[in-house]
Structure 1
């Protein structure tokens, strides 16, 4: 595909909407509602791109990867981790994904990883159960997601703390639209440490395959070189920690604020799956990702020239009132419509089944069964923050310690 130079100005006729990044980090949803109603395709100078905010337009764009290319010039993700499958189009995207994906499929999650996920969750709960209080993000959800991810990836020498720290540093880089140099420095340190850990793991997997993602890439039918493995493990570490951690936190917070819904779920364990899907729709852990047009294209009533930078705002699409009735409400009984939280098209989130299992089949059921009388700590306000990535910064709770 011939490269097209990035266009960093508004398309002719596109409305220009000034959005303050601090306001978006606090709560992006009022701004998204206004954009959907008045400017569903708008140029936003503070993020240097057009934002596409309606559900149907986002779905349409996802079905046209040959037009809405993942190969965006100047991508923050490329700057943070280097060339990777999320910023590739087919056939190279397909080659890399086919190499990495097998260990994350539903059967492999069930057969290879589910038992270890449950043991890790019990171990973490053993550490806090007698305390009667905790931050469920720092003390449980983040170390659970990080430990599980280290296992699935095959990073046997990396601790859960390492994985979590690396993920936070890279995700900060990937949303560093303010170009903060300290954020870039932390991201560079994290990616250097990951490169070293992956090189060691890849050599071990070459000698003795272990079913992990790194092992799968090392032994892929189509060759994948070490740099490609390193860069794609960086991408997976980012999403593989923050998505399950943040869905866990948002869902737990939602239920603790709705005791009648929680009582119902506890009586109907099969409904944890519905809790997961509604949580991911209601507050999408990844709120926006970039695309760049390979040619002129009309969408949302405007023609974007080739090279235009676009943000597909899936958090907004998941609150689109034309698709989800009472979209701002957390509602387990809403009609089943596909949400956009895991993306779509060829870039549908590779770790979706891992996240679904570790949160809805393991983390929530164990937390709410083992921590009796679980409730939010007094004075707890909304802990949510972020717009490119959104989730709880903390979730302080108390319970009846044994």
Structure 2
């Protein structure tokens, strides 16, 4: 279905938007844009930014009109041509190559025990750092990185390598300012990941395990596809759980009555997880390109239009969510778009839910008595293409 009106309107221009303002706090910008029109041309980022829930949802489910295989893609440059920048049937071939590694059965039987072990390791690290430590750098980031390292099968890398690779390549996918230093760091990680894959595949052929790379090593898949999809997984598979841990913990500590609720009923950690990804989508925007001239919620778009599907805005659309700017685990349950939809629904969704809602959040609040924000140091959140906590100082009762 296509949203069509009898009289198509030209695209309004949001020349008042800057990348710096988006990075600092995009939500007031999104609110103003949504109120004016569902789509704007934004010169600062060279895209038509789509901010309404209705339009974003439609785009996700219409790959014939809105292609993921974007011309001049920053993600292709930073990570190679992964499944995220492909349409079916090519996308489906790559996606099926991941097999059952990320599915609920494997998570329950194989990965949850590993998540528990890694959580204990990095919770000890956070305790050792003492009250005032940064929850992101001491726990959330290394925990997410170590989980991903083992899931992917990078036995020849460290969790620190995973963090560096992820962040620098993600910075490349969001390098709308075309900063040459960002590209240089991204390219360095790109090459290092290629080298690590080339080194580990022969080992995994002789010593198979339940990891992604082990499964791919035995399949007739082009090496370039393996490389690109592994880089894509390093990006999203690390930053999403890391950032959801940070945002959910921050939101709960900022809302003590809701924190009391989840402590009294740990099943509500799953609800807090879903509300956190709605409130601050870890992947705030992704690209699409129109394959033909089309009309989206009354706005005329040309063929070849480079779109930014702004999930961070759609998930706060007041037409769908009551009081959308607030974090509220008691709100009416409605589907958010944080994990995408259609053929590109995030393959790592079940891993994120299990590792964050099932393990990380309950262990954090259960293992550190009276865990709370450090009153002496401010928490910092930032980003718009990817958004999360960059610093989250916490304290607790010894």
TM-score range, shorter-chain basis? over 0.9
Match of 1:383 in 2: 380
The offset of 1:59, in angstroms, is 0.7
Match of 1:50 in 2: 48
CA displacement 1:253-283 (0-9 Å, x = unmatched): 0111111111111000100100000000000
The offset of 1:178, in angstroms, is 0.4
Deviates more, 1:279-288 or 1:381-390: 381-390
Match of 1:32 in 2: 30
Q: Select 2:285's aligned residue among 266, 284, 288.
A: 288
TM-score normalised to structure 1 length: 0.94
Taking structure 1 as reference, are residues 307 and 157 closer, same or farther at Cα in structure 2, changes over 3 Å only?
Answer: same
Match of 2:72 in 1: 74
Does the 8 Å contact 2:378/2:392 carry over to 1?
no
Match of 1:337 in 2: 334
CA displacement 1:339-391 (0-9 Å, x = unmatched): 01111111111111111111111111111111112111124434110000000
Q: Distance in 2 between matches of 1:336 and 1:241?
A: 27
Match of 1:164 in 2: 163
Q: Distance in 1 between matches of 2:316 and 2:214?
A: 39
Q: Distance in 2 between matches of 1:176 and 1:50?
A: 16
Q: Select 1:323's aligned residue among 311, 320, 327.
A: 320
Match of 1:3 in 2: none
Q: Select 2:294's aligned residue among 293, 297, 308.
A: 297
Match of 2:3 in 1: none
Taking structure 1 as reference, are residues 109 and 119 closer, same or farther at Cα in structure 2, changes over 3 Å only?
Answer: same
Match of 1:114 in 2: 112
Could you say what secondary structure the match of 1:46 adopts?
coil
Does the 8 Å contact 1:375/1:399 carry over to 2?
yes
Q: Select 2:370's aligned residue among 363, 370, 373.
A: 373
Does the 8 Å contact 1:102/1:213 carry over to 2?
no
2:235 corresponds to 1:235: no
Does the 8 Å contact 1:102/1:216 carry over to 2?
no
Point out where structure 1 has 5 or more consecutive residues left out of the alignment: 1-10
The offset of 1:12, in angstroms, is 8.0
CA displacement 1:223-258 (0-9 Å, x = unmatched): 212221111100000011110000000010011111
Does the 8 Å contact 1:282/1:327 carry over to 2?
yes
The offset of 1:318, in angstroms, is 0.1
The offset of 1:131, in angstroms, is 4.2
Does the 8 Å contact 2:126/2:135 carry over to 1?
no
Match of 1:347 in 2: 344
CA displacement 1:165-207 (0-9 Å, x = unmatched): 1101001111100000000000011011111111122222222
Does the 8 Å contact 1:199/1:230 carry over to 2?
no
Q: Distance in 1 between matches of 2:318 and 2:125?
A: 43
Alignment of 1:123-162 (within 5 A): 123-133=121-131, 134-162=133-161
Could you say what secondary structure the match of 1:334 adopts?
coil
Match of 1:205 in 2: 204
Match of 2:5 in 1: none
2:241 corresponds to 1:244: yes
Q: Select 2:251's aligned residue among 254, 269, 272.
A: 254
Does the 8 Å contact 1:40/1:300 carry over to 2?
yes
Does the 8 Å contact 2:281/2:312 carry over to 1?
yes
Match of 2:353 in 1: 356
Could you say what secondary structure the match of 1:103 adopts?
coil
Q: Distance in 2 between matches of 1:80 and 1:17?
A: 27
Q: Select 2:82's aligned residue among 57, 81, 84.
A: 84
Q: Distance in 2 between matches of 1:189 and 1:349?
A: 26
